[in-house]
Amino acid sequence: MGRHKRTFTPRVRTTRPLGVPLSPNKAPAVPLAAPVLKDGKWYIEAPLSSRLHQKSALGKTDSEGGCSLTNEEVLFCHWHRHVPLPSEDWFADAIRHDPDLVARSVAFDVSRSGGELVVPVANIPSKRGFRPPSTTWALRWNREQIFTKEDPVAHVRWAWTTDDVDWTELEHWTRNVTSKGMLAELFVIDEELEVTMYRLSFAEIQGNQPTWDSLDATAQNNLAELWASRIPREDGWFIPSVGAWPWASLGIEHHSGQHLRAEEGQWLEAKLTGLDVDDHLRLYDDLMHRGVVLRPGFKYGTQWRIYDAAVGEAHAPWLLLPVESAPQTWYAACLSVRLAEGVHKAWICASNDRSGWSYLQVQRWLPGR
């Protein structure tokens, strides 16, 4: 059988050649001067420096009216502002000493494609009072903002798809950033030098279903009687001949009875006996106290899909993995997030520290949207 005829035009991928501008604007009649090395940075003299800084938030200005560019800004100005590179072999020399320039230059270019102003932390004057975490690469302003007068809206960092993910560190960074009232954004660069952008936040997981503490004594006693009639079945239990099961958040109805998974039965046993739940059930316990319904996430590569209403009334808004089971590289994490959003759900990584459980949400976004 032959392939179906394609009816769409594949997207043209940007290759960003050197020596060829990407800007549709006409180059100036008199070629601009190339940056020169000064104090370890690439320096642009006035008046060009003023235009680059005031209109595009590029470079860090000095008292003489010039500005210093980072390596990624040099490339951006070369592609979009008709600024020549310092020399023909500049890029090759630069990546010998700074291999990550490849990723940063692409991330910088893509992040500014929607008109947003992304400014490397190295260019932020100390007098602005910003003290970003050491892992923050840049700050971002929306396109309509005046970056010299207004605060940024986001902290930005980047990673290769092959990099390991330190979820604990990422959770701390996101909490630090969001506590300042800003967005936490991550740009992931793949081996085709394409960029996928993510926004990190903390999900407020809450449902409208009854919790154990909200059940009255009659319902709890009914559950105890039914639990006493349980029959073990592989990794769970079957409770036969159930009339009206008193708590729809627990178990599934099948074979004219109720099937409970191992975690459901173990957790119910702890509640009925008044004992503390085992350590491996603490995440489950926290979620059940939030009034949600937990169902297996096997079909989606997660531990649970989480409903904020009764199953059948609405789709599950969240897919969740505990931190110990979370993807170990950004390659795997990107796959998980893409799968979740493909079925209109948010992907969550749950972790715990002294302050309690936190639910880190990773979602894709695009500049200008």
Same domain, 78 and 163: yes
**What range does the domain containing 234 cover?**
210-280
- Among residues 202, 229, 248, the one where a domain terminates is 202
Same domain, 192 and 55: yes
Same domain, 86 and 136: yes
Kindly indicate the confidence band of residue 4, based on its pLDDT and cuts at 50, 70 and 90: low
pLDDT single digits (tens) 143-162: 999 998 999 999 999 999 99
Q: What is the pLDDT of residue 259?
A: 95
**Burial 297-320, CB ≥16 within 10 A → b, else e:** beebbbbbbbbbbeeeeeebbbbb
- Is pLDDT at 5 greater than 70 in this prediction? no
Same domain, 92 and 178: yes
- Residue 82: exposure state from Cβ atoms within 10 A (0-12, 13-18, ≥19): middle
Same domain, 50 and 182: yes
Distance separating alpha carbons of residues 236 and 230, to the nearest angstrom: 10
pLDDT single digits (tens) 195-206: 999 999 999 999
Kindly indicate the confidence band of residue 357, based on its pLDDT and cuts at 50, 70 and 90: very high
Distance separating alpha carbons of residues 45 and 51, to the nearest angstrom: 11
355, HSE (Cβ side, Cα atoms, 13 Å): 6
Same domain, 62 and 188: yes
Residue 64 located in a structural domain = yes
pLDDT single digits (tens) 309-331: 999 898 999 999 999 999 999 99
* Domains held by the chain: number: 2
| Cβ-based neighbour number of residue 263 at 10 Å | 22
Distance separating alpha carbons of residues 44 and 358, to the nearest angstrom: 46
Same domain, 196 and 87: yes
Q: What is the pLDDT of residue 20?
A: 86
Phi and psi angles of residue 258, each rounded to the nearest 5 degrees, phi first:
-125, 130
The residue among 263, 208, 207, 202 whose CA lies nearest residue 235 is 263
- Among residues 202, 219, 252, the one where a domain terminates is 202
Report the number of secondary-structure helices (H) and strands (E) in the chain.
9, 18
- Is pLDDT at 1 greater than 60 in this prediction? no
Measured in residues, the chain has a length of 369
pLDDT single digits (tens) 215-231: 999 999 999 999 999 99
287 vs 39, higher pLDDT? 287
pLDDT single digits (tens) 241-278: 777 888 999 999 888 889 999 999 999 999 999 999 99
pTM (2 d.p.) = 0.91
Q: What is the pLDDT of residue 245?
A: 87
Structure tokens at 174: 């996101």
SS3 220: helix
Give me the helix-helix angle, 101-111 and 71-80, nearest 10°: 50
